[in-house]
Structure 1
Amino acid sequence: MTTTTLSEEPSLTSRAADRPAVQDWVPGVLQLRDAWFPVAHVTDVHETVSRRQVHSQPYYLWRAKGDLHASEHRPDIAAAKRLPSTAFTMGTGDYPVMERYGYVWVWYGNPEKADESLVPDVPFLPREGGLPWYTRGTLRFDCCSALSLENLLDLTHADFLHANVVGDEYSEDDRIEVQSTSETVTMIRHCKSKSVAPIMRWVGGVRAKYQDVRAVIHVHVRNSVAIAYGRYTPGFHVPLFHPCVPESQDRCRLNFAMNTTAAPGPFRILMPRAAYIVGPQDNIMVGPQSARYAEPADRRDLHSRFDGAGTRYRFLMQQIARRQQQGDFSFGADPGRDVRELLGMPVL
């Protein structure tokens, strides 16, 4: 099912030089603006200045008397304060910044449009943060965020690349469903009698040989944010917040959070640590592809039915980029909408 609802809000006008170029599929060019990015865990930002970046735009983060700050320039270097500021801060040097779900979110785009309601809904993370240390971590990928997200949007890749953690490709039935709005794309996978995930057998006490699986990956295109939810029967629910912050054309940062606090131990502690097994496996695959992925080619792009979500993702990125090039930076769908039912979470 595809729903595309275009907003009737006034367009944001800007100079042509500030608008993203739109051409054939070159991910590094499609730097979509007016979006919140979760650039750091709140526990990683202190009085000492730390640096992050979004599409190579620098963000310096620190706290002063408990208050959170984000600037284009280092506050502890006098010479840096005299540097010119860009349109990303309206010449003030200070970015819109906020805390939610245990993350520091910064605004990339026109600061006058920084609306907190545009933060994606992540229903399994506490709004005020506070999850235990073992649920979160940080990884980096040697590729642009778009390639990392396309990899995620094919949920079947896990059967081959991460079989030692989540199980192999064998099941009685395997169905794929793709949904999208003008801002998001979702892949839902239903597996019947799939080989049980090894990690659930080893540390979760699941003794069955097979389990039914409903896995969802829900991607906010403009934010480069993925929200994943796995429901394993018998087994446990695995909720994963997977933001692929686009640091540069060849690098993205994953500040992940996996809320396994409702699962029994030791699974609830060890499952999030499996990210340090799965992440390097992904990077081994996407890293060497990055250079080819970012260049236009005459070769036909062949794909299977499992690539429908990735194909839709590319289309949405180009569609939003064209709207922004025409001066329309509005959101065509509500990014903060409740997605519990879509994810397959219990709705109380």
Structure 2
Amino acid sequence: MLDNIAGPDDSAFTSPAALNDINNWVPHDIVMRDAWFPLAHSAAVGKKPVRRSVYSVPYFLWREDGKAVAASVLPGAGALPETGLTDAAGRYPVMEHYGYVWCWYGNPLAADPLHLPSIPYLPPNGGLPGYLTGTVRFDCAAPVSLENLIDLTHADFLHANVVGDEKSESETVEVFSDSETVTMVRTCIGKSVAPVMKFFSGIRQPTQQVRQVIRIYLRSHAAIAYGRFTPGDDVPLFHPCVPETRDRTRLDYTMNTSNAGLLFRHVMPKASYIVSRQDSSMTSPQSPRYMHESKRRDLHSKFDVAGQRYRLLMKNLVARQAAGDFSYRDNVSADCSDLIGLRKELFRY
């Protein structure tokens, strides 16, 4: 049984005009300015420069006296490109937080720590062990990857060998949003136990209670995922989709299972390599289809409310920026612990 698939104020997202706008979706054309992007795990940045990119714009990262810096060219490389994204010395605004080096894409004078997304289950100063992190890539536009992610029900079919099948006694889905975020909350009663928890957490009963949350920070193309499994372990995942190019996405993930049992703690983060291949099998062929005209209709069902809202919010934000409005109307750094259902006693930093 599926209840409450829509959240408040859904008429703005389900009217004929809105649905028509949603169907005219070209994710490759989206460029979000005035946003923090997590370009590298802190441990990946040292004295020797490493190269990253955002929308094909190069970012070179290294450390000076232990502090992370970012520039548009390598040190001593000569002339600076005119991008309007750096200061006079060719440096980008940089923050180090949650175990990542974050770089600003946009007007450097507008860079503000207030616009850093809230990730309440990662320690602000980093320091998590390396086995909780990893890097994967997707051959698709970043919004395509995120649109796939925010439909939590897809996991029952695409990732059933990891998170379990679609069987449950009841299921409730809610969707919440503001101008900068969209969040899907899925609650399942009597859901089949996830196979990975059977094997590595030792759960013997046939079902468990599950609460899964995906929250997307639109400008940063970043998502936080939080799963509560009872009985079982919490699965907190930071899932940033950095748009390296219009059709190439880098994911430097962190799955903070440090409070789980020994086996699950070490094994579950590595499942991301299996899950990412499964996701890529769907998104990689899907992504280029948006770049060509087609007579095929882009169909939606009642289960797609979160994805529809994500599309429309992204298009609204793009339109605002095209009109010269880069302001933040909502506070992305506000603590979202209560919304995602965080068990705070497990993540006191």
Distance in 2 (alpha carbons) for counterparts of 1:224 and 1:326: 21
2:81 pairs with 1:69: no
Q: 1:296-334 CA distances to partner (integer Å, 9 max, x unpaired)?
A: 545322111221111101101111111111111001100
2:70 pairs with 1:81: no
Q: How many residues align?
A: 327
Question: For residue 260 of structure 1, what is the aligned residue in structure 2?
Answer: 257
Distance in 2 (alpha carbons) for counterparts of 1:131 and 1:301: 42
Question: For residue 39 of structure 2, what is the aligned residue in structure 1?
Answer: 39
CA contact (8 A) 2:28 2:141 kept: yes
CA contact (8 A) 2:80 2:90 kept: no
Question: Pairwise mapping of residues 40-189 of structure 1 onto structure 2 (< 5 A)?
Answer: 40-75=40-75, 78=76, 80-189=77-186
Question: For residue 8 of structure 1, what is the aligned residue in structure 2?
Answer: none
Q: 1:155-183 CA distances to partner (integer Å, 9 max, x unpaired)?
A: 01111111111001111112211110111
- Report how far residue 194 of structure 1 moved: 0.8
* AA aligned opposite 1:302: L
CA contact (8 A) 2:191 2:209 kept: yes
**Amino-acid identity (%):** 54
Q: 1:186-220 CA distances to partner (integer Å, 9 max, x unpaired)?
A: 11111111110000010111111111111000001
Question: For residue 215 of structure 1, what is the aligned residue in structure 2?
Answer: 212
CA contact (8 A) 1:171 1:192 kept: yes
* AA aligned opposite 2:44: D
- In structure 2, the gaps of 5 or more residues are 1-6, 11-22
What is the Cα-based RMSD across aligned positions, in Å? 1.6
Residue in structure 2 matching 1:276, options 273, 297, 313 = 273
2:321 pairs with 1:324: yes
After superposing the two structures, state which structure 1 stretch, 81-90 or 318-327, moved more: 81-90
After superposing the two structures, state which structure 1 stretch, 299-308 or 45-54, moved more: 299-308
Q: TM (normalized to structure 1)?
A: 0.91
Q: 1:57-91 CA distances to partner (integer Å, 9 max, x unpaired)?
A: 1100011221211000011xx4x322433201144
- In structure 1, the gaps of 5 or more residues are 5-22
- Report how far residue 140 of structure 1 moved: 0.4
2:197 pairs with 1:200: yes
* AA aligned opposite 2:99: G
* AA aligned opposite 2:236: P
Question: Pairwise mapping of residues 226-305 of structure 1 onto structure 2 (< 5 A)?
Answer: 226-295=223-292, 297-305=294-302
The 1:296–1:336 alpha-carbon spacing in structure 2 relative to 1, beyond 3 Å, is farther
Distance in 2 (alpha carbons) for counterparts of 1:2 and 1:336: 22
* AA aligned opposite 1:54: V
Secondary structure class of the residue paired with 1:322:
helix
Question: For residue 25 of structure 2, what is the aligned residue in structure 1?
Answer: 25
Q: TM (normalized to structure 2)?
A: 0.90
* AA aligned opposite 1:255: D
